[in-house]
Amino acid sequence: MDFKEFIENGEKLYLPNLSVDMVIIAFHQGQIKCLLLQIGDKWLLPGGYILRTESVEDATVRILRERTGLKDPHFKFLSVFGGEDRKFTEEWRQFLENNDIHFTEGCWLNDRFVTLAHYSLVDFEKTQPVLGDIDAAFQWFNMDDLPNMWMDHKDIVLTAKERLKEDIKQEQLTYNLLPNEFTMPQLHQLHEAILGEPLDRSRFQKKMIASGIFERLPKLKKESPGRNPYQYRVKKA
């Protein structure tokens, strides 16, 4: 289905006025990044719509897979964004004009949308972003340094950033951001990056090991200076 058909017939396939947006988060070079797509001169979150024949959860997984190529991606519900004026009329108009596509005022995409925002933690190395039909580019942006974005999409990213801070105090989910095998210093740096503050190395290590969800691999890994760290991986049931 090309974009023109999508504009014309999308409302038969998808639930109207409802979208799913994804804050796809990765860890690279010591920084927390999120994946954005470019349409026109602005950036927006990867997202999509819910087929009338699929559940919200299925739609979320489908959208994630389409964009990241990952088979079984991590994701978690973030929040509803449901302002009464949440329309993208101006954004669509600009894009359609620039691409010589006929602009229909009453198009379903021009209506108000309530979005179900999710966030997803992915392994930077394993993620191969895929462009949609109309996306000009993708790029990983530092979460502290976001570009011009559509409407409230920046708010959504910032909400995800705050949410992640809360969540990692409770659950162990950050390993989704690392390769299968990782070291404690890596995990430590990751947590510091998420929380934006220094964490005591000693206690961090003890706490992680005490959590019991990781198993130490006897292997060591060789690198530059210093002592070689152990590697760990998540215990399998």
Partner DNA sequence: ATGATTTGTGTCACTTTGCCACAAAAAAAA
Partner DNA sequence: TTTTTTTTGTGGCAAAGTGACACAAATCAT
Which residues here bind DNA, judged by CB under 7 A? Answer: 183-185, 200-203, 205-207, 209, 220, 222-230
Residue 116 binding: pick among a second copy, DNA, none (C-beta 5-8 Å cut-off by kind): a second copy
Q: What is the DSSP string of 173-191?
A: -GGGGS-SSB-HHHHHHHH
**Smallest distance from the beta carbon of 227 to DNA, in angstroms?**
3
Structure tokens at 11: 């409302």
Q: Looking at beta carbons only, is 80 or 218 nearer to a second copy?
A: 80
**Smallest distance from the beta carbon of 77 to DNA, in angstroms?**
27
CA distance 126 to 106: 41
In 3D, which of 101, 92, 1 has the Cα closest to residue 51? 1
Structure tokens at 210: 């005490």
Q: Looking at beta carbons only, is 140 or 182 nearer to DNA?
A: 182
Q: Looking at beta carbons only, is 54 or 192 nearer to a second copy?
A: 54
Residue 1 binding: pick among a second copy, DNA, none (C-beta 5-8 Å cut-off by kind): none
Q: Looking at beta carbons only, is 9 or 142 nearer to a second copy?
A: 9
Q: Looking at beta carbons only, is 213 or 220 nearer to DNA?
A: 220
**Smallest distance from the beta carbon of 52 to DNA, in angstroms?**
47
CA distance 124 to 128: 8
Question: Does residue 137 contact residue 14 with C-beta atoms inside 8 Å?
Answer: no
Residue 38 binding: pick among a second copy, DNA, none (C-beta 5-8 Å cut-off by kind): none
Q: Which residues bind a second copy (CB under 8 A)?
A: 15-18, 50, 52-58, 77, 79-80, 82-84, 112, 114, 116
Question: Does residue 46 contact residue 140 with C-beta atoms inside 8 Å?
Answer: no
Residue 58 binding: pick among DNA, a second copy, none (C-beta 5-8 Å cut-off by kind): a second copy
Q: Which amino acid is at 152?
A: D
Q: Looking at beta carbons only, is 227 or 236 nearer to DNA?
A: 227
Beta bridge pairs of residue 117: 21, 79
Residue 53 binding: pick among a second copy, DNA, none (C-beta 5-8 Å cut-off by kind): a second copy
In whole angstroms, what separates CA 72 from the centre of its chain?
Answer: 14
Question: Does residue 7 contact residue 101 with C-beta atoms inside 8 Å?
Answer: yes
